[in-house]
Amino acid sequence: MPLKHDDSPSDRHSRHDTATWFEISAVVATAALHLLLRTRGATALFIALASVFWAVYIALHVRQDATAWTRWGFRTDNLRSAFKGPTVLFILASSAMGTYGVIAGTLVWHWHLLLLLLLYPLWGILQQFLVQALVVANLAKMSPRHGRTLAIPIGAVLFGAIHYPSPLLMLATSGLGCFFILWYLRYRNLWPLGLYHGWLGTFFYLWVLGRDPWFDVFGRWLPSAT
């Protein structure tokens, strides 16, 4: 009976590279699907499909490797430090958007604003997981010397591109992406990024773009605020 040998380092490295490229490719495919379904007014369908797919992926992966949950950034040990920078950014950005809303007459308070502030961060956490944990972290890991330098523009462009075709939204999300990427690489914590992603996104849609994300997603099934 042949002896059972452990995998060689080259075998483990090959599997790791395959998994890394699968994750990056899957994120790009998710972004492409988002753009396709969004142009057809099926944003809610995309959110449902993406949420289920990636929730299953996370569950299966964590079942095989329990350390992945913390390594990806679902951690609580450094919450206080991880929240400082994003909190300052949120206060400054939301104040600026509120001021713009007052001047432009778009500072509205819909009955479902509370629901958006509760639900949007969940979607924001998933988006930050895809961009930060599966693209940025993988790029940084693949190339220790230049990975971080490449991760910032690539992650920011990807984050901005999925908000096509609004130039203002693409510019804002790319800028936000640069800061979030730098902060993630420092603290590796997704919770503040996902939370403020959702809150800033809510205010930006309502107060700057004058659009209602609630109606954009659920307008076919639920009443709008007008």
CA 193 to chain CA centroid, Å, is: 8
The answer, yes or no, to whether residue 217 has pLDDT greater than 80, is no
Mean pLDDT across 115-131: 95
Q: What percent of the chain has pLDDT over 90?
A: 68
Query: How would residue 149 be classed by pLDDT, with cut points 50, 70 and 90?
Result: confident
**Cα–Cα distance measured from residue 25 to residue 166, given in angstroms and rounded to the nearest whole number:** 24
Cβ 26 vs Cβ 200: under 8 Å: no
Tell me the DSSP string of 195-210.
HHHHHHHHHIIIIIS-
pLDDT at 14: 58
Encode pLDDT of 5-30 as tens digits: 456 555 555 566 788 999 999 999 99
Mean pLDDT of the chain: 88
**Cα–Cα distance measured from residue 159 to residue 54, given in angstroms and rounded to the nearest whole number:** 17
Mean pLDDT across 148-160: 89
Query: How would residue 111 be classed by pLDDT, with cut points 50, 70 and 90?
Result: confident
**Cα–Cα distance measured from residue 58 to residue 55, given in angstroms and rounded to the nearest whole number:** 5
Query: How would residue 40 be classed by pLDDT, with cut points 50, 70 and 90?
Result: confident
pTM of the entire predicted model = 0.88
The answer, yes or no, to whether residue 49 has pLDDT greater than 80, is yes
The runs of H, that is alpha helices, within the chain are: 9-39, 43-64, 68-72, 79-104, 113-128, 137-142, 147-161, 167-187, 191-203, 213-218
Give the domain ranges of the chain.
Answer: 12-218
pLDDT at 10: 52
Cβ 212 vs Cβ 225: under 8 Å: yes
Highest mean pLDDT (candidates 9-13, 95-99, 143-147, 158-162): 95-99
Tokens at 91, concatenated: 């206060």
Angle at 109 between CA 105 and CA 113, to 5 degrees: 135
Cβ 125 vs Cβ 194: under 8 Å: yes
Beta-carbon contacts of residue 195 (< 8 Å; ≥ 6 apart): 86, 121, 124, 125
23-32, 130-139, 156-165: the lowest-pLDDT one: 156-165
Count of other CB atoms within 10 angstroms of residue 141: 13
Nearest in space to 188 (alpha carbons), one of 89, 91, 76, 57: 76
Mean pLDDT across 89-98: 97
